Structure 1
């Protein structure tokens, strides 16, 4: 393994744009990225990631993780990919149910603003990669998305059916979802770079291939597994960002929703944890996310020595916060309450590194690109106190930060500036 300090450089979005240009110029696969808070870093970027459809089982491999003598987080490389939500999968889904690829090289931005070149091999950092970090050229193709909203009456009917099931005692809570659809042109990588620059989500992830692209602007941690410790931080409870965050903590409905999902996560992790090790390390914290406040809790556990990534995912996937209580019954009923399959939305995107371990997000606030069409799923948890009109507004609030995005102003490309300069 090799590690080189590159020092100061561009922002994750700037470096990602430069790597996109580099990939096109070299005729290689586009970059993939994790930005926000991943493996203790502000960004983890694979300069080029050849992705393809993958099997659902074995896609992510659990590794122990280790720390160097300097006690600095290392990643080096690994598998970056996604798993789609597993229920109601169409015969021919718009995107594969799982996809990803392996990288031996990453560029890591640490929490002090320093960039590092890391590789699982002994190869030194290529000069053009260092240049992409130190002097990123922001000139990239543009993008455009024309969104179509979901049908409000259809969503309301699903919420009312859920409320009937709650009154009948079939479920206590369930996450009823809908989706915006759109047509797009341009470059999905440019969309993602602009989006993370504007909204700065904690668990953003991007990957692309011949099959399409996934731009996940998620604020939510599904699983972080390092050595034998695993954490999950479910989000339940939402309030527009212009409101007083104290109102969210005081909401009986939102607090009840979060506590129910915390209990569900405790049960999920308890299926593979050492007895007595499941704990709630943070309960009902109020945290900002793009456009909204959220209630966030964290559950931690110690895994048994023989627990594999497949076993962990069998226990916990799909994420508790996007299903309901009890989980199996909620998943079954949701297939009738929702008009469309979820696709990658409500699945997970992340990375498994043989050095750093496993980290996965909950694929909410996630735009899926296939052909010239795209989709953005939204939803919210329904409890006995839910109002259908308020639930619809919550969907709009969650989607607003993405729907309002527009391409950043493009500087003149360096080549054009040079060509027009006096000699």
Structure 2
């Protein structure tokens, strides 16, 4: 028996919810909640609905980027049951043990195979403001104000057609490790992230920051030996250790993976993992307050770097550099860092943020090219759509 793909099931569920007048589905594709896909068949994702401190239902949603100490904007929704793709089979998991609804089962049996039409056009950012921001960051490093910072810019675009079709086709082309689709009256989020922000199961939590990038055509051994990229990664690992250490059990914070070279669409990345044990009284509120925004998209020291970035960057980041994912019963929290993430406005306006970590030996022109390399997989997949 052929098992329907997550993207086909998502399209079928969206079509059925339109017919039935239900809220649309939401989906996490890649590696989430120990599954290859997580789909909420119908979920009312609204502005201002964040994850409960200790959920007794499933929450799917997204946080915007906000400097440390400031509350981020959030969209989210709650549901009682999810479709999970595990070990090549779809299963239904509910908080109350109820069985899979009949209309959801019908969508699994008859997934939507025909394309959802769309077309997108993109406008790249201006090089000069970004290079200037990198130069200002380098000056701050020389002055001893900071050690590094993640300086960002953004592509803008226009989508003509179906936002879900856009997400499905770009996700199919790139197979993101932490892809996500959310939609509501506020617009849509199409995330193609490669980065794990927080992965919590009961009292054990880990974070896997990405720092260090090389184009896919470069031998990965070059990245593994890059002094600049190694320094960039190690500094952020220390920041993650500090963030988790603020709420972790004393002595439990450890680096379980350091400087692994990992392939992502269009690039190679250096990835490390920090793990900690949390006291039983630490819920989502305290964990998120300690770690948001993600370390890899701010800098060191975190509060000062974030303050300077607000002055240097042309645009607010929005959901880019925030977090997307799921929370649920029994201490479940699985969030990506919202990089390679497209915000789709109701009128079809697109934004795609890109950036990179700046250290003392960064070259502004090389950093600019890194931004283009990171955007290429999403933008090129959009432009090749017919």
Shift of 1:140: 4.6
Larger mean CA deviation between 304-313 and 251-260 belongs to: 304-313
Contact 2:116 2:164 survives alignment (8 Å):
no
1:88-237 aligned at under 5 Å gives the runs 97-110=73-86, 112-237=87-212
Q: TM-score, normalised by structure 1?
A: 0.87
Contact 1:8 1:114 in 2 (8 A): no
- Residues 73-95 of structure 1, C-alpha deviations (whole Å, 9 max, x = no match): xxx9500011100149xxxxxxx
User: Are 2:259 and 2:272, in contact at CA under 8 Å, matched by a contact in 1?
Assistant: yes
Does 2:67 align with 1:83? Answer: no
On the 8 A contact 1:279/1:299 being kept in 2, the answer is: yes
More displaced stretch, 305-314 vs 385-394: 305-314
Q: CA RMSD in A?
A: 2.1
Question: Are 2:302 and 1:308 equivalent residues in the alignment?
Answer: no
Aligned pair partner of 1:43 in 16, 37, 43: 37
**Which whole-Å CA distance do the structure 2 matches of 1:204 and 1:44 have between them?**
10
Report how many residues are paired.
Answer: 384
Q: 1:399 to 1:260 in 2, by over 3 A?
A: same
Counterpart in the other structure of 2:14:
20
Report the CA distance between 1:123 and its aligned residue.
3.7
Distance 2:255 2:191 in 1: 27
Partners of 1:38 and 1:63 in 2: CA distance: 19
CA contact (8 A) 1:367 1:374 kept: yes
1:404 aligned to which of 375, 380, 385:
380
Q: Counterpart of 1:49 in 2: which secondary structure?
A: coil
CA distance in structure 2 between the aligned counterparts of 1:345 and 1:22, rounded to whole angstroms: 30
Taking structure 2 as the reference length, the TM-score comes to: 0.95
> Please, which runs of 5 or more residues in structure 2 have no aligned partner?
none
Q: Secondary structure at the match of 1:102?
A: strand
Rg larger for: 1
Q: Does the aligned pair in 1 maintain the 2:120–2:383 contact within 8 Å?
A: no
| 1:409 to 1:113, Cα distance in 2 relative to 1, 3 A | farther
- Where in structure 1 do 4 or more consecutive aligned residues deviate above 6 Å? 407-410
1: CA distance, partners of 2:36 / 2:82: 13
Q: Is the contact made by 1:365 and 1:399 (CA closer than 8 Å) also made in structure 2?
A: yes
